Amino acid sequence: MHETRFYITTRFAKSYFFYIGSSGSGKSTFLRTLAGIWPYGSGTITFPIGDTVAFLPQKPYCPVGSLRHCLTYPSTLSSSDDDMKIEHLLNLCQMNSWCDRLDEIQDWSQVLSLGEQQKMAFIRILYHRPQWLFLDEATSSLDEQAETDLYSILIQQLMNYSTIISVGHRNSLKQFHQI
């Protein structure tokens, strides 16, 4: 087998792609390969220089530390402007009850339900605004209304900025994607 090289030379802002399939059909493998994080096989995927890439799995990473750190990870610096932005995003994503806990230090993966972790991960994405966003069934632990609300916010906030590629098994996600 020959090494494959895949060059992404342009970003399709306002482009939202959706790959749907049943469990075990290779959706996650496809997405991880495209995102450049699949460790098996050989080849290269190159994104435009300077573009930021984010990958959001079903079970998001929640670092131990303050809630602020959990929401802004991997950033390490924070300012009062960041707090205003974080509080705005918490309110936007209907997580406003967490605004007064930004300084609280916890193992957030043990404190938050998986659905809350997924919402917090969406807030992290909205905070960082990556040019390329890969979502691997990132709302699987949310009910359809919460999923619809988060995807609506995501599209509204990133529509002129990000290319979004999602995989999932719910037909309800099709409405947020072009393909």
Strands (E), the chain: 4-7, 16-20, 43-46, 53-56, 64-66, 105-107, 132-136, 163-168
> What does the pLDDT read at residue 112?
98
> What does the pLDDT read at residue 18?
77
Phi–psi pair at 91, nearest 5 degrees:
-65, -45
103: pLDDT confidence band, cut at 50, 70 and 90? very high
Give the percent of the chain with pLDDT over 90. 54
108-120 pLDDT, tens digit per residue, is 999 999 999 999 9
Return the domain boundaries, the chain. Answer: 4-176
Q: What is the mean pLDDT of the chain?
A: 85
**Domain range 4-176, CATH class:** alpha beta
The structure tokens listed for 164 are 């979004």
Beta bridge mates, 4: 43
For the ranges 65-79, 89-103, 156-170, the lowest mean pLDDT is seen at: 156-170
- 36: nearest Cα among 169, 174, 165: 165
Greatest pairwise CA separation for the chain in angstroms: 55
CA 64 to chain centre: 19
- State yes or no: pLDDT of 171 exceeds 50: yes
> What does the pLDDT read at residue 14?
64
- State yes or no: pLDDT of 1 exceeds 50: no
The structure tokens listed for 115 are 């659905």
Q: What is the pTM of this model?
A: 0.84
- State yes or no: pLDDT of 24 exceeds 60: yes
Residues 137-156, mean pLDDT to the nearest whole number = 93
The structure tokens listed for 19 are 């790959």
> What does the pLDDT read at residue 48?
79
